């Protein structure tokens, strides 16, 4: 039917989605989304098949677009976020002044980043669009995603399901005059207004994800991001309980009790990665079975041994093969070009057989000049000269057992089978696990010292769908990320990134389990050391 039919088809989908989104309400009557549009979606000649919006909380606060994007990825939905290369429209619809733009830039916000909220105000929005290949089922999938993540605790009670079989995709008449009245669009697709109202009413009365106010307040207090004491409770020390390195990016962890520190982090941490036949980094997002690959490093024998169920163990030398010219691979995950060495056909065949697709193992070259830390590290000396391995953000990731325990209560309440603490620790894939008296107090630290090592905190870790993957089986459960978002006030931060600032000391640079952690608060007030160094936090 040509472009005219495509216009009719895509506009019908957009109009339907717009109509449902506009009607969604929380139990308290507050809207679920705020739509930004100059039209009422009544005429395809002036309104394209694009919907621009922000998701709101039940209190009317905007939920950052990066959080919505991460949730959408769990449902295999791709959305565009930010200002869409249209700063003027962004300022107009979001009420952003020129002064606000400058203030956002000073806060570190740049085009394409995840800084979606500054001082409580959004820096961008979410956009969905329909094309000729889009279907009514696609629109339904998107609406079910919004309803499941905003209006229910569990992904079960979703309205409109009873109406799906009654909805039809009747073609829009060629006469565009029918679009001059929005009421005339109701049969395209055919939805009985009464059915829509009844379904929404049922949603408001039977699907109430919001906990009782008293419980809600206790949750907010329990997972507060700011309420942190300035001294140790009962004089208990903070100690390292676990140390993990991940020799191969996105593969299983290798747990150690003590390990040397290199100029990029833990020695050999994320020095290798698996790439597809195009040289693009593969992670658990695309290939969850990577978590079943178990690498271990033998420093004495100078080899890395790689194991997986059903496969013969295979070894890789720790000695860099300087006899081969390094190749340049572009990793979309790291967003950098990295200079690497290919580990050869034997290793490539091993990974290809296990994963069932062509892939190769590559190793980062010792020439580290091509990868340095570029993000905002205020107060970190020579930040741009600090080299990185194949990590995404920083040299180290730290999590707190007390924070894990606090989060475990909220996640377990939403799951049929409660998670064990060890399983949650594995899902968060940290390098350093500490045992501190208070949950989430690590988010108020500016620096920490461990023996002769000094670390700068460079920001929180905003979690993605990888925490939804069971690191023992490779199975996904999207409820994990949704639970984290709900428990943390619609954010997905968990853990903090660290960069190493070596101290001038005669002590060897080694991290050990049981070592004491001395933090410095963001207000530059040093936390008092514990009265007894013999006490250790269990767990």
pLDDT > 90? residue 381:
no
**Collapsed DSSP state (helix, strand, coil) of residue 171:** coil
Largest CA distance in the chain: 84
Please report, in angstroms and rounded to a whole number, the separation of the first and last CA atoms in the chain.
66
Give the whole-angstrom CA distance, residue 336 versus residue 341.
Answer: 16
d(CA 29, CA 472): 43
Task: Check pLDDT > 90 for residue 500.
Answer: no
Note the pLDDT of residue 268: 93
CB of 248 within 8 A of CB of 274? yes
CA distance 502 to 516: 17
What residues pair up with 239 in beta bridges, in sequence order? 435, 516
Asked if residue 271 has pLDDT above 80, the reply is yes
Residues 440-482: tens digit of each pLDDT: 999 999 999 998 888 999 889 988 889 999 999 999 888 888 8
At 300 the pLDDT is 94
Which position has the higher pLDDT, 268 or 501?
Answer: 268
- Identify whether 189 is preceded by a cis peptide bond (ω within 30 of 0): yes
Cα–Cα distance for residue pair 409/224, rounded to 1 Å: 15
Residue that wins the pLDDT comparison between 91 and 376:
91
pLDDT in the model for residue 235: 57
What are the start-end ranges of the H helices in 96-206?
Answer: 98-106, 136-150, 193-206
The answer to whether residue 54 scores a pLDDT higher than 60 is yes
- Strands of the 327-331 sheet, one edge to the other: 272-276, 359-364, 336-342, 327-331
- Structural contact between residues 434 and 400, judged by C-beta atoms closer than 8 angstroms: yes
Confidence of residue 208 (pLDDT cuts 50, 70, 90): very low
Q: What is the dihedral of CA 294, 295, 296, 300, to 10 degrees?
A: 150
Contact 32, 155 (CB under 8 A): no
- Give the active site residue among 83, 85, 291, 504: 85
Do 323 and 316 form a contact (C-beta atoms < 8 A)?
no
3-state DSSP of 488-504: CCCCCEEEEEEEEEECC
Model confidence pLDDT, tens digit, residues 301-325? 999 999 999 999 999 999 876 555 5
For residue 187, pLDDT beyond 50: no
pLDDT at res. 393: 75
On the question of pLDDT at 523 being above 90, the answer is no
- The answer to whether residue 251 is catalytic is no
- Burial of residue 532, with CB atoms counted within 10 A of its CB: 0-12 exposed, 13-18 middle, 19 or more buried: exposed
Domains of the chain: 3-150 (3.90.1150.10), 266-364 (no CATH), 392-521 (no CATH)
- For residue 345 the two structure tokens come to 């056909």
Mean pLDDT for the stretch of residues 96-117? 80
């Amino acid at each position: 039917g040509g472009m005219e039919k495509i216009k009719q088809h895509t506009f019908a989908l957009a109009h339907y989605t717009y109509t449902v989104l506009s009607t969604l309400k929380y139990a308290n009557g507050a809207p679920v989304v705020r739509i930004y549009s100059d039209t009422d979606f009544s005429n395809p000649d002036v309104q394209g098949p694009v919907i621009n919006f922000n998701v709101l909380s039940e209190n009317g606060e905007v939920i950052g677009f990066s959080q919505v994007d991460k949730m959408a990825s769990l449902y295999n939905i791709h959305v565009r976020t930010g200002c869409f290369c249209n700063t003027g429209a962004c300022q107009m619809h979001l009420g952003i002044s020129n002064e606000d733009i400058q203030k956002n830039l000073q806060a570190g916000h740049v085009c394409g980043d995840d800084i979606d909220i500054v001082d409580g105000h959004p820096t961008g929005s979410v956009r969905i669009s329909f094309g000729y290949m889009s279907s009514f089922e696609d629109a339904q999938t998107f609406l079910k995603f919004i309803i499941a993540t905003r209006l229910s605790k569990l992904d079960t009670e979703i309205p409109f399901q009873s109406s799906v079989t009654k909805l039809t995709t009747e073609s829009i008449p060629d006469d565009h005059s029918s679009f001059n009245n929005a009421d005339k669009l109701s049969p395209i697709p055919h939805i009985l207004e009464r059915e829509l109202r009844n379904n929404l009413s049922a949603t408001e009365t039977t699907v109430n994800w919001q906990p009782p106010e008293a419980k809600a307040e206790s949750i907010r207090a329990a997972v507060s991001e700011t309420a942190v004491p300035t001294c140790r409770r009962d004089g208990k020390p903070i100690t390292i309980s676990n140390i993990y390195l991940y020799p191969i990016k996105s593969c299983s962890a290798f747990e150690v009790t003590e390990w040397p520190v290199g100029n990029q982090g833990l020695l050999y941490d994320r020095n290798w990665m698996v790439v597809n036949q195009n040289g693009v980094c593969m992670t658990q997002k695309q290939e969850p079975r990577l978590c079943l690959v178990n690498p271990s490093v033998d420093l004495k024998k100078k080899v890395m041994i790689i194991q997986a169920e059903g496969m013969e163990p295979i070894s890789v030398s720790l000695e860099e093969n300087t006899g081969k010219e390094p190749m340049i691979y572009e990793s979309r995950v790291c967003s950098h070009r990295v200079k690497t060495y290919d580990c050869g056909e034997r290793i490539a065949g091993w990974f290809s057989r296990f994963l069932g697709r062509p892939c190769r193992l590559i190793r980062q070259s010792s020439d580290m000049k091509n990868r340095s830390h570029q993000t905002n590290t205020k107060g970190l000396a020579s930040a741009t000269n600090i080299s990185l391995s194949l990590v995404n953000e920083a040299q180290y990731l730290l999590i707190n057992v007390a924070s894990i325990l606090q989060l475990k209560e909220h996640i377990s309440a939403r799951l049929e089978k409660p998670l064990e603490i060890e399983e949650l620790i594995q899902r968060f894939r940290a390098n350093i696990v500490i045992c501190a008296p208070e949950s989430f107090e690590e988010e108020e630290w500016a620096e920490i010292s461990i023996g002769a090592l000094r670390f700068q905190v460079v920001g929180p870790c905003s979690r993605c769908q990888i925490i939804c993957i069971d690191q023992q089986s490779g199975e996904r459960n999207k409820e994990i990320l949704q639970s984290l978002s709900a428990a943390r006030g619609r954010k997905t931060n968990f853990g903090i990134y660290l960069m190493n600032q070596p101290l001038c000391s005669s002590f060897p640079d080694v991290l050990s389990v049981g070592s004491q952690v001395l933090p410095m608060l963001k207000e530059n007030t040093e936390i008092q050391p514990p009265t007894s160094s013999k006490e250790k936090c269990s767990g």
